[in-house]
């Protein structure tokens, strides 16, 4: 069974500071919840670093938007999704959990905005986690990272997605309201071709809710988190053709993915 535990206390909690805590090893972490009096725009950056590698990079507004996209009810908490509770099967949900191993160094950092005139004197910040029993070895690592693509025309090519045979994409969120269609080519073969209107319709049918200012590429919107992950392996190139209503300069992309760290244990 899974359970809920309170995390260690943060250090460095204050306006304009970086609050940090060390996440204890042992259990498998499915979700982390932040209890705080901070507003979304006051949480500038949230990271989870595993043995020196930032595996999760978010902010307060993104955390709210990703939960709203999945149809999760609004709350005063902020959610760091590791295992995705919108999966249709328990195994699918566990597929994205963070397994910890003895000797891991796992740090949760939160960059807090400077104090405004109307803000309370002190910052209140606590961490909680949904956990499940320890597993013997870590096979997969959940990741949420940012990349940026150039969009200086109305038809733009993105060839720089971090990819390979050991990386599977859960979702990609293009942070621009000007994106209206997306095509994906793997080794010069078109494997995906859709528009904003088509994908918003498909999202609604699968109880996903597009967020303002974003274009969502969601291969697992039906909830099958193991079978329908998007494979990034390719021989020559993996190309995203992103079409916009007008040139926008640059488009940040939030990439939710799974990194396979023990391929020998994948069945």
Q: What is the pLDDT of residues 23-40, one digit of tens each?
A: 999 999 999 999 999 999
**Domains of the chain and CATH, by start:** 3-138 (2.60.120.730), 142-265 (2.60.120.730)
Residues in contact with 144: Cβ distance below 8 Å, sequence separation at least 6, in sequence order: 55, 56, 57, 58, 81, 254, 255, 256, 257
Count Cα atoms within 13 angstroms, Cβ side, for 188: 2
For residues 33 and 77, is the Cβ–Cβ distance under 8 A?
yes
Mean pLDDT of the chain: 94
Q: Is residue 168 scored above 90 in pLDDT?
A: yes
pTM score, whole prediction: 0.94
Question: How, if at all, do strands 238-244 and 179-186 pair?
Answer: antiparallel
Q: Is residue 219 scored above 90 in pLDDT?
A: yes
Residue 205 phi, psi dihedral angles, 5° rounding: -65, -20
> What is the reported pLDDT for 13?
97
Element (H, E) at 64: helix 60-69
Q: Is residue 221 scored above 90 in pLDDT?
A: yes
Q: What is the pLDDT of residues 226-247, one digit of tens each?
A: 889 999 999 999 999 999 999 9
> What is the reported pLDDT for 88?
64
The mean per-residue pLDDT over the stretch 211-215 comes to: 97
């Amino acid at each position: 069974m899974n359970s809920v535990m309170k995390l260690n206390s943060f250090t460095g909690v204050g306006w304009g500071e970086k609050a940090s805590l060390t996440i204890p090893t042992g259990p498998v972490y499915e979700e982390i919840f932040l209890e705080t009096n901070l507003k979304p725009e006051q949480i500038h950056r949230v990271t989870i670093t595993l043995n020196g590698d930032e595996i999760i990079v978010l902010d307060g507004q993104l955390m709210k938007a990703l939960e709203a996209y999945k149809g999760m009810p609004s709350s005063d908490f902020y959610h760091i999704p590791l295992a995705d509770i919108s999966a249709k099967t328990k195994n699918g949900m566990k597929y994205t959990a963070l397994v910890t191993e003895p000797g891991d160094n796992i740090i949760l950092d939160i960059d807090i905005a400077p104090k405004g005139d109307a803000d309370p004197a002190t910052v209140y910040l606590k961490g909680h986690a949904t956990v499940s029993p320890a597993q013997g070895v870590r096979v997969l690592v959940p990741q949420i990272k940012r990349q940026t693509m150039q969009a200086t025309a109305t038809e733009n090519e993105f060839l720089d997605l971090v990819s390979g045979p050991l990386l599977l994409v859960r979702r990609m969120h293009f942070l621009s309201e000007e994106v209206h269609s997306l095509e994906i080519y793997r080794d010069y073969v078109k494997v995906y071709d859709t528009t904003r209107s088509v994908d918003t319709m498909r999202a609604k049918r699968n109880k996903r809710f597009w967020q303002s200012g974003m274009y969502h590429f969601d291969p697992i919107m039906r909830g099958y988190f193991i079978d329908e992950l998007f494979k990034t392996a390719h021989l020559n190139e993996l190309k995203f053709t992103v079409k916009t209503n007008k040139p926008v300069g640059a488009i940040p992309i939030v990439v939710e993915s799974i990194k396979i760290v023990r391929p020998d244990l994948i069945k």
